[in-house]
Amino acid sequence: MAVCLYTIEPSRLAFGAWCHTSEKQIGEGDIRASYSADRIGMGQPIRKPFRYAGELWVCVGTGPSGAEAYRLVDPSVFGSTTRTYAERCRDGDRARGDPAGFYGGIIVRHAGRELVMAGPPVTFVAGEEAQLSLF
């Protein structure tokens, strides 16, 4: 399966730092902050999705080379079978080898509504931030 890469501003992948005074993460990039694989596996609502190219996305994996994410769509426009995380896990090796990715077709909840993770996943990698030239 070919990997689709999108180059984005490095700040969107920033780790940030824990602030003990406010008891929250400060300076974390929106893509990294949307990481929700832990919540999906527990059947909990996902964290706040991020926007890219006018669409909602959720991150399911991060590493030094970038972040893996799935696009989120309304179930009414998803053109294939949807399933829960538990149902997907029962598919075992077949689910891991799916061209749509392991999370493709999984139903998640955010802000009181159901959404579907549409695969295949893409990888967001840090690139050069746009520079404004004055000369």
Per residue in 75-90, pLDDT tens? 999 989 999 999 999 8
- Residue 133 domain flag: no
Q: Give the mean pLDDT of 35-55.
A: 97
Tell me which residue range forms the domain holding 38.
4-15+24-126
Instruction: Answer whether residue 60 is part of any domain.
Output: yes
pLDDT at 1: 54
> Per the domain annotation, does 40 fall within a domain?
yes
Domain count, the chain: 1
Residue 131 domain-assigned? no
Determine, yes or no, domain membership for 104: yes
Q: Is the pTM of this model over 0.75?
A: yes
pLDDT tens profile 101-118:
999 999 999 999 999 999
Measured between alpha carbons, how far is residue 5 from residues 2, 9, 67, 83, 95 in Å? Answer: 10, 13, 10, 26, 22
Residue 83 within any structural domain of the chain: yes
Alpha-carbon distance of 27 to 73, in angstroms, equals 28
Q: Is residue 70 part of a domain?
A: yes
pLDDT at 132 over 60: no
Residue 135: inside a domain: no
Residues 22-40 as b/e (b if ≥16 CB within 10 A, e otherwise) read: eeeeeebbbbbbbbbbebb
